[in-house]
Amino acid sequence: MATEVQVGGYRLLNLMMTGQTSQVWEAMEPGSGRHFALKVLLPEHEKDSYHRRLLFHEARVGMSMHHPNIIKMPRVSESKSNPHIIMEFFPGGNLKMRLVRKHDVVREKARSIIIQAGSGLAHMHDKGWVHRDIKPDNILVNSAGEVRLIDFALAQRIRRSEGWFAWLGRKKRTAGTRSYMSPEQILNRALDERADVYSFGAAVYEITTGRPPFRGMTPNDLLNKHLKEKPVAPLVANPEVTEECSNLLLRMLAKDKRERPKTMHEVTSAFRQIKIYKTDKLEMDGR
């Protein structure tokens, strides 16, 4: 009989995901029988101050959010051994996995998925945070097409001007995921909502075409394309995409943030009024 493993009083049931520094488990609360997701640092990182700070930062940001499309985080443990976050159990996998496996739910519910994810991101911005790592991997989607945003480790307070931050920020290593980073994030400039608008545009580009807007032979080549190269129009990459959707995505992916939609509320409102694919029926509730 296998030995029962517990963390913080929760019984670990199934390993859901292993990352570079942490694991996410399906866990059960013995007293109530309720299931949660438990994110715990790997043993080799649990005493590392940098990774502990990221985990606790993610928890503090997540616990301040209250939106149906943002993963719930009821509690965090900052214990010296096995520091962890307790999260809502939301089975189904991330959007990247579903895109790779070409799940029908992504094609059938693309507009709803986009609007739900955009609404969650708009709430995060309303709370004063830039996500800084918006990508299909950080958008959970279940078989019913319901959405949750996850992973707030890189979240940063919105800054609307450069000031001292620009001078200080350029000395730091660029943080984020290269395939989805805005030009200003690559350059370590002050970030506001429009940085996430760009990243969300790159994620939706991948949802609708099957690939990110840019690919590079090297990491630096990829970053340079975000800075200098205009993406192929989505309707060229996938003729099923409507002209309205294609044009909106190109606006979201503008190099100059002043040319992008100003807020995610503006983005979600636009998606509610257009079709993603030419064969779609336009349902005004976005579902």
Chain-centroid distance, C-alpha 232 = 23
* Token pair of 34 as six digits: 């309720």
| Cα 180 to Cα 17: distance, rounded to the nearest angstrom | 22
The one catalytic residue among 48, 104, 126, 133: 133
Place of tokens 């693309």: 110
Chain-centroid distance, C-alpha 153 = 11
Given a contact cutoff of 8 angstroms between Cβ atoms, the answer to whether 161 and 190 are in contact is: yes
133 catalytic, yes or no?
yes
Bridge partner residues of 130 (DSSP) = 156
Q: Look at the alpha carbons of 190, 261, 268, 265 in this order and tell me if their dihedral is positive or negative.
A: positive
Given a contact cutoff of 8 angstroms between Cβ atoms, the answer to whether 33 and 43 are in contact is: no
Given a contact cutoff of 8 angstroms between Cβ atoms, the answer to whether 139 and 60 are in contact is: no
* Token pair of 249 as six digits: 């995505």
Q: Look at the alpha carbons of 108, 67, 252, 266 in this order and tell me if their dihedral is positive or negative.
A: positive
Q: Active-site positions?
A: 133
